[in-house]
A and B are shown apart, each in its own frame.
Chain A
Amino acid sequence: MLKGRSLIEPMDLSVEELKEILDLADKIVDNPLEYVDACKGKILATLFYEPSTRTRLSFEAAMLRLGGAIMGFSSANSSSAAKGESVADTIRTIACYADIAAIRHPKEGAAKVAAMSTDMPVINAGDGGHQHPTQTLTDLLTIRSLKGSLDNFTIGLCGDLKFGRTVHSLIKALSRYSNIKFVLISPDELKVPEYIREDILIKNGLEFEEVERLENVISQLDVLYMTRVQRERFFNEADYIRLKDSYILDMEKLEMAKKDLIILHPLPRVNEISIEVDKDPRASYFKQAKYGMFVRMALIIKLLGVEK
């Protein structure tokens, strides 16, 4: 039963529950007009303690397309946090007004604290460098829709694998499907953290390799997941400048890739994918953004338990 539950990390959902959500998303994609009143009379609160316009708008668009209403704040200084209110107190108050909440916070575990403090369903919309489960749902829906299945492929994850929360969530979620090979492409300084390597990859006996250069492995990939190397994750400017251009996807590298590769990116991109790549049919990152809205629609319906 998904009704009344919270989603804090991808592993909160069983493979069956994930399938339930993705199947509903498929139905919404096929027939969006069927769902225009699904959440009529319901309110989604978007509690964004740090700005992320893209994620917030995706949630809000999802709720609006379901006929629901939205409220919330989009940065910490416009919220009660500026006056020193705890996350727990804020969510308890919001629960008096809203039916479901999406929370984004710069500190790891903030969404978990929120979910532990209320019976209202809470969706983690990103907690620092930690988890971002709806991005993962987006990625899974995109891969399943474009590849036809969530089994039997080789996925390359490229860029900032240390702080990139979307990568961590995706690896966790994909670890439960069969015959997936992970190729982790990053500079030594930005490799996946030890808890992902030890507790997810090694513990589950998954096939993976860690490499430094995209061009050496791009030909074996079915899915390429690019991430941004974020300036604010670096402690000094020199490191950022030295590394930021190391992992750029351009047509020259793409020449070596499979014809049916799909290229994903959580967006926004800076320069890690050249603009010239956008015209290539393998570029799937804008489709991915659309799938993100559909999967959030499915998730909201499921957690509210308003499916017809």
Chain B
Amino acid sequence: MNIDSVQKGLVIDHIKAGKSMEIYKYLSLDKMDCSVAIIQNAKSRKLGKKDIIKVENNITMDLTVLGFIDPNITINVIDNGVIIKKINCGLPSEIINVVKCKNPRCITSIEQEIQHIFKLTDKENKIYRCIYCDTCYDNN
């Protein structure tokens, strides 16, 4: 399989195999005017199998959400065909309007204009809680 290397843009690497479409959706890549290559089930020494997303363009987007989805993801920023920066995402302390609170008793369930905000309350166990009702977000 041959995919042209990126001249300018991002390579989102070490995505857990099968998760690339989810990330494509979270980053709203479908709404962006740039070419995107999704590589699924690539061989990886670290993960066995992995997905990779290559985004060609000079784009700015909020990548902190990637750490919420999978903290193992790495991001390579490419310019002139070479990696100029590597970003390890880690767990963001706060995620805003990425996922919704599922608690039917939460105020966010009846008032649409409220931002859905989750805070990292337990780093070790990767637990995020709704700032309004304390319900923890279930990633599965």
Contact = CB atoms under 8 A, between A and B. Distances in A.
Interface stretch (A109-117, A216-224, A243-251): A109-117
A105 B107 contact: yes
Contacts of B111: 86-88, 113
B121 A107 contact: no
A129 interface: yes
B136 interface: yes
B101 to A, nearest CB: 8
A128 B135 CA distance: 13
B122 A108 contact: no
B113 A88 contact: yes
Given A87-B107, A107-B109, A110-B107, A195 B136 contact: yes
Interface SS majority for chain A: mixed
Nearest to B121: A199
Interface of A: 86-88, 105-110, 112-113, 127-130, 195, 199
A121 B136 CA distance: 27
A107 B122 CA distance: 25
Contacts of B129: 195
Contacts of A105: 107
B134 A112 contact: no
A86 B122 CA distance: 31
Interface of B: 103, 105-111, 113-114, 121-122, 129-136
Contacts of A127: 107
Contacts of B114: 86, 88, 113
A195 B136 CA distance: 8
Contacts of A108: 103, 105-107, 132-135
A248 B10 CA distance: 64
Contacts of A128: 105, 133
The 5 A-B pairs with the shortest beta carbon distances in the complex, nearest first, are: A109-B132, A108-B133, A107-B107, A109-B107, A110-B107
B24 to A, nearest CB: 31
B108 to A, nearest CB: 7
Nearest to B129: A195
Nearest to B101: A109
A130 B101 CA distance: 15
A14 B121 CA distance: 19
Given A128-B105, A195-B134, 12 more contacts: A86-B111, A87-B107, A88-B114, A107-B105, A107-B109, A108-B135, A109-B106, A109-B130, A110-B107, A130-B134, A195-B135, A199-B121
Nearest to B111: A86
Contacts of A112: 107, 131-132
Given A112-B131, A195-B129, A129 B107 contact: no
B133 A130 contact: yes
B100 to A, nearest CB: 13
17 contacts: A87-B107, A88-B113, A105-B107, A107-B106, A107-B109, A108-B103, A108-B107, A108-B132, A108-B134, A108-B135, A109-B107, A109-B133, A110-B132, A113-B132, A128-B105, A130-B134, A195-B135
A85 to B, nearest CB: 10
Given A88-B113, A129-B105, A109 B136 contact: no
